[in-house]
Structure 1
Amino acid sequence: MAVLAQFSTNLRLLRHRLTTVRTFVDAKIKWVRDPYLDTAVEKEKHLKPMLSLKTLILSQPSKTLPLSAASVHAHRLRLPTAAAKFVKKYPSVFVRFRLRHRLSLPHIKLASRALIAHKEEALVLDSPIHRKNAAERLARLLMLAGARRLPLKIIDGLEFDLGLPHNYVLTLVSEFPEYFQICSMHCDDSNSCEMLGLELISWRDDLAISVMERRVMNVGLGGRRGMRISFPMELPRGFDLEKKVRNWVDEWQKLPYISPYENAFHLPPNGDQSEKWAVAVLHELLHLLVSKKTEIENVYRLGDYLGFGKRFKKALVHHPGIFYVSNKLKTQTVVLREAYRKDLLVEKHPLMGMRYRYIHLMNKTVRQSKAIRTGDHRRRKQIV
């Protein structure tokens, strides 16, 4: 009996230690470049500004746009160069032309293949399945926030990666009134300042199941609370954790898994258990994104608002086998490792399939006819 009592006491002490003590070893984890994931990030270079310009062109009644108007909106569209130079760079997407009257200014329109891709993309975006899926992803994002609400400026930063329509406030809110409503929120630094936010009207238990919990349930292990669920880890070639770091990670993985949809702020912020919960939240966030990646500033901005502070930063540093930070495209991008095999998504969302179509067009050159004089004859040679 005494032995049993002692065992029970030791177990309580161990649980207390796991949830309150910071045991991460004092070892520097070096950053190792992953060329495949860097490629996954780099292949989307200029995709966002191209899609923004496409949307602006198609918003015009004539489906054409004066080149001068594109120049005026260059900053808002985040064009990396002058509008004329950007249009010229992607001839398989944009066509530059002049109207028939002699004094007309240069105009731009979509190339035929880009217009076909847009129509196919519209079928995806307008399908009931996609719109319901987008609404549920947005609802889950709001459920990661304890108050079920987020400022619109934070959601706007994640809009593209979440796969939301560019006018999601007008479309999704009106289409799913049982899900969302616009609300007024206090600014971060002042109670007298207010800003617009989006609120989930009521908690949805059917959506409050993380991807990690669904995996466990799918293999018949149930989904009981506090299970010891380990995160998938993949380290790039040439990356080797120190033995003491590997030992810490192994023990850390054995800690109980706390759902990202639970509130665990009662845990000491510097404890190992608290870190596993922060990793769970970040892991779920990246899984909600159709591209399984986002710029690091979006992660930090959301983390600061949710109250995680430096915990997201520590999670990215301590767990390079779960998250990768790419330095490509003059920014930093957080990538969920398990979502990729080399530079390709393991599970490709239909919207990502359409984005890859656009990327293919952006990389495609146009054949032009060039007259070449040979002796007394002129012949036309096709060049790429």
Structure 2
Amino acid sequence: MKCEVLQLSATARRHLHLRTFINARIKWVRDPYLDAAVEREKNLKSLHSLKNLILSHPSQSLPLSAISPLKPHLSLPTTADKFIQSYPFIFKIFLPPNKTNPFPHVKLTPKALSIHCDELLHLNMSRYRLDLAQRLAKLLMIARGGRLPLHLIDTLTFDLGLPHDYLLTLLPEFPDYFQICDLGFRDSNGEIVFGLGLLNWRDDLALSEMEKRRDCDLNGMQIKYSMNLPKGFDLQKRVEDWVEQQWQHLPYISPYENAFHLSPNSDHAERWMVGVIHELLSLMVTKKTERENVFRFGEFLGIGRVRVKKALVHFPGIFYVSNKIRTQTVVLREAYRKKLMTEKHPLMAIRNRYISLMELVLRRGRPVRGAAVRRRERGRTCLRVVSNKKEDWNRWRRSDDDDD
């Protein structure tokens, strides 16, 4: 396992313990574009979990009564039947032909099933699976000792783009990468905590996203973070000067290096902490994750929530914390231009197809965008019908009827 300690002079070592951050309050300012990017994926993770649960059964359907008890496990925002009825172009409720079982069941619509099949094709591509294994390995390399608890990885599964059954379908393909291990401690219930460990340190992967950019820079300039403050953000001049004239010029310490020799309250330690969060978000296909996930990751590294929170608050030009969709989400600003990702991961193109179906609702027998319906209800605009052509709507209806 790589474990490097910087060889520095006594003067340099003393400088690593300095703290020069300006004692100024940095207020949170709403970014409507990034809020829209977060809100657009509302309920997508819950829908994905329910979809996988339905398709895991041989009949590819489930009785509604069997889904309701699993609501907490699936993180459904409402009751199962209301959630399913909210997405009529994803789920279809039907009565089985067998009269001995008259209870309503739910299955996927043909369009949702078609997207799922395309998703499986992508997940089974050798190029994608290698990329996924490498990103998972990099996540373990950032972690202390090259290991992470399985329950912590599970919270990041969707954001990483891991298949829900990655333990059975992905890990066996890379026996030279990973191993399941006992982490040597027990949880609050006294149960042994198992984790995923990296078999060998990989120097070819120990290159952060920020260092890749330096390699592309022919002038060999110092590594500086991109600062993208939204319009209307009034950052105090003294704080802005400190970031641009002092903090940005500090030596870059890779998140894959052992930096625990730094004083926790020093500028260098905070710059390393920013690098850890930046690299964590860069490994996600969504370039964002819930703030609680970042906190848990920091706690396992031995950093603590307070230091993580300070890094997020002190550098609003790098990270944005959205309060949308009933939680707080940390977004990597540089990965977005307004509400769109600058470099979209191939898996996100498939997820956007799910979102397009989720946004459709039925009004007067026609499919319309839910956002248009909400605007109509607020009296701002008229309904925007997805298709006014009668033949297009008949094609929608026939595809559902053929599935009955």
Q: Give your verdict on TM over 0.5.
A: yes
2:360 alignment partner, SS class: coil
Q: Which residue of 1 aligns with 2:72?
A: 75
Following superposition, the deviation at residue 188 of structure 1 comes to: 7.0
Contact 1:139 1:200 in 2 (8 A): yes
1:212 paired residue among 210, 213, 232: 210
Aligned counterparts of 2:135 and 2:329: Cα–Cα separation in 1: 20
1:261 matches 2:227: no
1:88 matches 2:73: no
Gap change, CA 1:17 and 1:35, over 3 Å in 2:
farther
Deviations 1:291-341 (A, max 9, x none): 010101100001011011122111001000000000111111100000001
Following superposition, the deviation at residue 186 of structure 1 comes to: 2.6
1:100 matches 2:94: no
1:304 matches 2:299: yes
Gap change, CA 1:167 and 1:333, over 3 Å in 2:
same
Q: How many residues align?
A: 359
Following superposition, the deviation at residue 59 of structure 1 comes to: 0.9
1:269 alignment partner, SS class: coil
Question: Match of 1:325, as an amino acid?
Answer: V
More divergent stretch after superposition (116-125 vs 359-368): 359-368
* Higher Cα radius of gyration: 1
Identity of matched residues, %: 57
- TM-score using structure 2 length: 0.84
2:240 paired residue among 246, 252, 255: 246
2:145 alignment partner, SS class: coil
Aligned counterparts of 1:369 and 1:253: Cα–Cα separation in 2: 57
- TM-score using structure 1 length: 0.89
1:283 matches 2:283: no
Gap runs ≥5 in structure 1? 1-10, 371-379
1:357 matches 2:353: yes
Q: Which residue of 2 aligns with 1:345?
A: 341
Contact 2:149 2:183 in 1 (8 A): yes
Aligned counterparts of 1:169 and 1:189: Cα–Cα separation in 2: 21
Question: Match of 1:246, as an amino acid?
Answer: E
Deviations 1:83-135 (A, max 9, x none): 11111110000111112244521111111111111111111111111111111
1:323 matches 2:307: no
Following superposition, the deviation at residue 193 of structure 1 comes to: 5.9
Q: Which residue of 1 aligns with 2:135?
A: 137
Give runs of ≥4 in structure 1 deviating > 6 Å. Answer: 11-14
C-alpha RMSD over aligned residues: 2.3
Gap runs ≥5 in structure 2? 1-7, 367-389, 397-404
Q: Which residue of 2 aligns with 1:42?
A: 39
Gap change, CA 1:188 and 1:221, over 3 Å in 2:
farther
Gap change, CA 1:12 and 1:205, over 3 Å in 2:
closer
Question: Match of 1:281, as an amino acid?
Answer: V
Aligned counterparts of 1:18 and 1:42: Cα–Cα separation in 2: 43
